[in-house]
Amino acid sequence: MSSSQESVYSEYETDTSQTSKLLRKFKEMPFVPVGMAGFVGVVGYGLYKLKHRGNMKLSLHLIHMRVAAQGFVVGALTCGVLYSMFRDYAVKPKE
């Protein structure tokens, strides 16, 4: 193996705890946890509003909740992709 491959592997082997791996992933892709938190927030709000839905059918309420949660996640992922493209192409890193 070349020395560059060994340095990459040793970097990943030193981060053995789950917390350090999770923090490293959050730093690499910051919009994924935002999407996950938004999804949990929308679902929590939908469950709270489930008690006070009035005459709305349960199936219609669940469809609205699903669409809102999916929309938040897709929006967060789209922002993440745009941020990644901006970082890679617009702000040219020094090589």
The pLDDT tens digits of the residues spanning 36-90 come to 788 888 888 888 888 887 888 888 888 988 898 888 888 888 888 888 888 888 8
Find all residues with CB under 8 Å of 42, minimum gap 6, and list them: 65, 68, 69, 72
- Kindly report the pTM of this predicted structure: 0.58
The yes-or-no verdict on residue 10 having pLDDT over 70 is no
The yes-or-no verdict on residue 29 having pLDDT over 70 is yes
What is the C-alpha to C-alpha distance for residues 30 and 24, in angstroms, rounded to an integer? Answer: 10
The confidence score (pLDDT) of residue 41 equals 87
Closest CA to 43 of 77, 74, 70: 70
Q: Is residue 57 part of a domain?
A: yes
Q: Is residue 1 part of a domain?
A: no
Are 72 and 65 contacting, i.e. CB atoms less than 8 angstroms apart?
no
Q: Is residue 87 part of a domain?
A: yes
Q: Is residue 2 part of a domain?
A: no
54: tokens are: 């009035």
Q: Is residue 42 part of a domain?
A: yes
Q: How many domains would you assign to the chain?
A: 1
Residue 78 has a CB neighbour count (10 Å cut-off) of: 12
| Domain that residue 77 falls in | 16-91
The confidence score (pLDDT) of residue 8 equals 55
Q: Is residue 47 part of a domain?
A: yes
Q: Is residue 5 part of a domain?
A: no
Place of tokens 């938190």: 37
Q: Is residue 25 part of a domain?
A: yes
CA–centroid distance for 3 within its chain: 33
